Structure 1
Amino acid sequence: MRLAAVDIGSNTVHVLVADVVRDRLEEVAHYVEMPELGPQVARTGAIGSRGKAAIRALRSVLARASAHHYDHLIAGATEAIRVARDGEEFARQAGDAIGTPVHVISAHREAELSFLGVASRHAARREWVMVDLGGASTEVAIGRAREMVRWASLPVGSGVLASTYLADPPKPEERARMRRAALRELAQAPDGDVERLVATGGTASNLPAVLAKRNPPSVLTSDDLLQCEKRLDGARALEVSEKVGLPVNRVKAMRAGVEVLLLMLDWYGLAVLHISHEGLRHGMLQAYLERGGAWFR
């Protein structure tokens, strides 16, 4: 069986296509675009006309995914759509556009689904922490093996932080203000004596390529993150984009995202973070296999 999952996030629209082989997911294809709903919602409280760009992005990624002839599609939306006053209407319009209901996922369920996806490959025996850094929020979950035991949704995200605090290229004083703002929100993070931090989301999955295009690392140290920060901040986003092979908007968001990951490492007293390319969309598909149409509840 071949499944597909669409995730309409605060920075991005993703679609994952995966085969189910012996009750495990094997990735077939992954497509992404960046309509950036989060900054618009943060400024105005509504998606408004930006929704048209998001629906165009949605149709675009699904047109590419359709070449892989999946059997079933599920779709979810996260923080920007959750908090926008017109979020439910946007979800209805998006669902009509793709012929599949778009479910607005609660913060708690988003944490559960991301944890489910990450734990499928990265669970540790003792306590560990998953950090799903998105465009407008960060889901943090403490786990024991594959059980999520504590969680929190923090109102910090790479896209909103970058658009609120950072110029192009960022100035040191702007980074300092952003760092203080993010650090205030970390007080809500769940406590834990964790042995491992596993990060997922767009910033985490793309940072290794900033360090090395060939054989990008799967584990990053604090020094690695600081080196990424230096490279991302070293010129205007267009120039950095050409050097690292990432879209301009992704570069801008990652400038804020790397700061959040540095703060998370420090918060939990760790020196390295593990990168997970599994996350929310993998969790959505695993939940669909377990619960069918009730996967989002």
Structure 2
Amino acid sequence: MRLGVLDIGSQSAHLHIADLTPGGAPVPVTSLKRAVRLAEATDRQGVIEQEAIKRVVAAATEAAAAAEAHGVDTLVPFATSAIRDAANRPVVVAEVEDATGIRLTFMTGEEEARLTFLAARGWYGWSAGEMLLLDIGGGSLEIACGGRAEPAVALSVPLGAGRLTRHHLPETAPARKRDVKALRQFVRSVIGETAEGLRDRPAPRTHVGASRTFAQLARLTGAPKAKAGPYAERVLDRDRLAAWVPRLAARSAAERSRLQGISAARAHQSLAGAVVAEAAMDVLGIEQLRVCPWALREGVMLDRLRALETHPAPDPADTAREVPAVPASAPVVTLPAGRGRHGAGRLHTVPTVPWTS
């Protein structure tokens, strides 16, 4: 089946299209990325500005057209904490649906942690052993650990780089030392409380960071460039990162955007991301972590692929074949009602249990 995953995050809307075949890894077909810049367009009360909502609608419209053009069988559209936690979330959801027919779905932070862990396990395999995963988004930090495909522990805390910038740091100007110190203490206290849930787990063999934040921080501290490809080994060293925190604080957002690895879109929240990453690594006793090129979108695909392997989609020509029931914990794999390789009409979109609309 051909699956499209539309992920609307704090900075961008990203569509990944891949072919899923039981027994194999997802085969990429194409991708589309458009800036939405929700983090900088959300006020302290959690309200997303109208101009940013228009950017989300435009990105979703373009993604829906691309999905149809590439013959996507099923489109999985979801938004992460930037919209999930917004005070005007119903307005955003309604405007996207009115314009595109796409009903955005939301997963819990714990479900995001589970799926991102699944992606990291898929990338590194069983040789990674007991694995501890960190994922810094715009609104939350996800933590997961375990020795199997599914994590034994999956946690989410509101320590996203965009959220912390909005509430604790200046958006564009250099940050004062006392503000950075206070933020670090706050982050350490939250992670310290959260880490209680990890104390009964075996010591991790592999530490993984999965997100654009970790990728940019790794590049800032000397990891290979993106053009080296996904198979280039990238690590983030805690001591090197700690040395960069005061340097980032002393720079404005514009100055940070000129540093290697820091994009202009994320420059304003790069300091908060660095503080969270360094504090988490310190509290959890991580000296180095590996930066995984797969993250949440790939986790969604792998989850769908597992469901497809367990309950293959029916052959539309074989109407008499009995289809086994799909468990409530697995995504529902369906054939399209939309234009594409198999039908005509509107593109079909499917939420994933236990997501909410």
TM-score by length of 1: 0.85
CA distance in 2, matches of 1:233, 1:223: 16
Instruction: Give the unaligned 5+ runs of structure 1.
Output: none
Residue 103 of structure 1, aligned match among 102, 105, 112: 105
Match of 1:112 in 2: 114
Bigger share in strand: 1
Q: Report the Cα distance in structure 1 between the residues aligned to 2:32 and 2:351, rounded to whole angstroms.
A: 25
Alpha carbons of 1:64 and 1:131: their partners in 2 closer, same or farther (altered >3 Å)? Answer: same
* SS in structure 2 at match of 1:148: coil
Relative distance call for 1:59 and 1:244 in structure 2 (3 A) is: farther
Question: Are positions 1:288 and 2:291 aligned together?
Answer: no
Question: How much has 1:280 moved relative to structure 2?
Answer: 0.9
The amino acid across from 1:88 in the alignment is P
Q: Look up the equivalent residue of 1:115 and give its one-letter code.
A: F
Is 1:201 paired with 2:211?
yes
Distance change in 2, residues 1:159/1:63 (3 Å): farther
Once structures 1 and 2 are overlaid, which stretch shifts more, 246-255 or 32-41?
32-41
* Cross-structure match for 1:169: 174
| SS class of match (1:277) | coil
Kindly state the Cα deviation for residue 235 of structure 1 after the two structures are TM-superposed.
3.6
CA contact (8 A) 1:20 1:26 kept: yes
Between 143-152 and 115-124, report the one with greater CA deviation. Answer: 115-124
1:133 is displaced (CA, Å) by 0.8
Do the aligned partners of 1:48 and 1:86 also contact (CA within 8 Å) in 2?
no
CA contact (8 A) 1:88 1:104 kept: no
Consecutive unaligned residues of structure 2, counting only runs of 5 or more, are 308-330, 334-349
Code of the aligned partner of 1:20: L
SS in structure 2 at match of 1:147: coil
CA shift at 1:166, angstroms?
2.8
Structure 2 counterpart of 1:127: 130
Q: Distance in 1 between matches of 2:47 and 2:17?
A: 30
Task: Quote the Cα distance in structure 1 between the aligned partners of 2:68 and 2:177.
Answer: 45
Is the radius of gyration larger for structure 1 or structure 2?
A: 2
- CA change 1:132–1:66 in 2 (3 A) is farther
Give yes or no for contact 2:188–2:283 (8 Å, CA) kept in 1.
Answer: no
CA contact (8 A) 2:109 2:140 kept: no
Aligned equivalent of 1:250: 266
3-state SS of paired residue (2:26):
strand
Conservation of the 8 A alpha-carbon contact between 1:10 and 1:80:
yes
Aligned length: 297
Once the two structures are overlaid, the 10-residue window that deviates more, 208-217 or 244-253, is 208-217
So what's the TM-score if we normalise by structure 2? Answer: 0.72
For 1:179, the equivalent position in structure 2 comes to 184
The CA RMSD over aligned residues, in Å, is: 2.9
Aligned to 2:194: 188
Per the alignment, residue 149 of structure 1 pairs with: 152
Using the aligned pairs only, state the percent identity.
Answer: 27
Query: By how many angstroms is 1:254 displaced?
Result: 2.2
The answer to whether the 8 Å contact 1:126/1:195 transfers is yes
* Cα drift, residue 206 of structure 1: 2.4
Instruction: State the Cα deviation string for residues 142-169 of structure 1 (Å, max 9, x = none).
Output: 1113121112111100111123333333
